[in-house]
Amino acid sequence: MKRILITGGAGFLGSHLCDKFINNDYEVICMDNFITGSPDNIAHLFGNKNFKFIHHDVTEYIYVEGKLDYILHFASPASPIDYLKLPIQTLKVGSLGTHKTLGLAKAKNARFLIASTSEVYGDPLIHPQTEDYWGNVNPVGFRGVYDEAKRFAEAMTMAYHRYHNVDTRIVRIFNTYGPKMRLEDGRAIPNFINQALRNLPVTVYGDGLQTRSVCYVDDLVEGIYRLLLSDEIMPVNIGNPDEITMLDLAKEIIELTNSKSEIIFMDLPDDDPKVRKPDTTRAKNILNWSAKVNRKEGLKNTIDDFKKRLGL
């Protein structure tokens, strides 16, 4: 049985990955300090003999007994509301946390996959974004703590690959949504759903014409799974290229929730990207992967999950 460590395993994406690997007969070790993750996301796994939880901060020395075949480093605040509130922790988990997990991968001779992000492209000057684009990032802006943490993590990963021959993978994750997202996550889709279900004003930033390309979590997890088991060492975009404006997304969620909410506009945050759309040619060619779940279906699943947890 293959053995895998997932850092940030109690978070939104990490917990879905725990489920994926448990369901594929892996022994899963989940590591989290609950700074943004939740025990609720993994509670159903605690009785499983192939699941183990370690409460630990990955910026400190990591000890895991026994062999490891794979390490997935997903520990990090990922929502602007989190990394603006936790700027130093965000930088530390991207730098020290990546260093510690790569050191463990080297010691265990384990394959390592780092969760990077479309934020490495910053406010992009090319559209859609391809993996060979170097990005347009403000290193001293408020968002720089997350953007530069992930850019550093990619550089550290490639350094360990080139200098120590660690077997590494880099996934650049584009906006993802689905069940288990925190109710107060702060990103667009949880915000819109929360507000619409409560018939509160739905807040759109700027003129709402900035775009995102949102990917349902099941599609993303499948892409990550395929990348981990592939031979590709260079970064791969995983996301759904179906682009939508924030204003249209808000209207869609209001309609799907049968909400009485009205849309109100607020000031656009600093360095907020104007466009975001992955070029997924590499994922299609290398992984034979493309997003399958359409937005309406994915949003309905997410809304149902929010209703359940809100008791509606």
The catalytic residue among 70, 83, 146, 216 is 146
CA dist list (Å): 150 to 51, 107, 227 = 28, 23, 18
Residue found by looking up tokens 């997410």 in the block: 302
Reply yes or no on whether 70 is catalytic. Answer: no
Rg (CA), the chain: 19
- Give the type of residue at 254: I
H-helix segments, 133-216:
144-164, 188-197
- d(CA 120, CA 254) in angstroms, rounded, equals 31
Residue found by looking up tokens 């809304």 in the block: 303
- d(CA 72, CA 68) in angstroms, rounded, equals 11
Contact 220, 239 (CB under 8 A): yes
Longest dimension (CA), the chain: 58
Active-site annotation, residues: 146
